[in-house]
């Protein structure tokens, strides 16, 4: 299966800010996981994926009220039950990077137990090949 990107946008409102007047990391993490879930669930079903790890969610720019962010997510690696998604967050107006990182999801059954998903990702773009390499070196700590 080829790598496919999913894009969502969010406008930053005053209730999304921390005490410094910038985007609250907890709100960013919520949206980060949601964007990753959209990509992972696109290959199976939302009821069959659960997030088990957020890897390296590091801000490179502050985000302020009224900024609009673009969340781009894509599945970059799969294992027997594992689905790894890369998410990058950019300013919508200029595509400047704000944050990026990986999420690991596990494919589960109705009892919440890991089950094989049978999904294979075949990246063909250089960026996606590099993301797959990085994703396969992640550990669940």
Domains of the chain, each with CATH number or no CATH: 6-136 (3.10.129.10)
Tell the burial category of 46 from Cβ atoms under 10 Å away from its Cβ (0-12, 13-18, 19+). Answer: exposed
Instruction: Determine the average pLDDT of the residues in 86-101.
Output: 97
Structure tokens that stand for 137 in this block: 């070196």
Mean pLDDT of 14-28: 97
Stated pTM of the model: 0.94
CA distance 79 to 52: 14
Query: Tokens 């673009």 map to which residue?
Result: 70
Question: Can you tell me which residue has the tokens 């390499």?
Answer: 133
pLDDT(140) > 80? no
93: tokens are 């107006």
Phi, psi dihedral angles at 104 (to 5 degrees): -110, 125
- Mean pLDDT lowest for which of 44-48, 55-59, 71-75? 55-59
Reply yes or no on whether the pLDDT at 141 is more than 70.
no
């Amino acid at each position: 299966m080829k790598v496919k990107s999913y894009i969502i946008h969010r406008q930053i409102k005053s209730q999304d800010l921390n005490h410094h007047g910038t985007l609250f990391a907890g709100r960013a993490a919520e949206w980060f996981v949601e964007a990753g879930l959209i990509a992972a669930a696109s290959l199976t079903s939302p009821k069959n994926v659960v997030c088990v790890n957020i890897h390296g969610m590091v801000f490179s720019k502050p985000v302020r009220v009224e900024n609009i962010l673009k969340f781009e997510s894509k599945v970059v690696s799969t294992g027997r039950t594992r689905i790894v998604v890369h998410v990058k967050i950019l300013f919508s107006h200029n595509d400047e990077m704000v944050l990026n990182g990986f999420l690991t999801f596990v494919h589960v059954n109705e009892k919440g137990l890991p089950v094989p998903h049978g999904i294979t990702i075949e990246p063909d773009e250089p960026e996606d090949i590099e993301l797959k390499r990085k994703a396969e070196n992640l550990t669940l700590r």
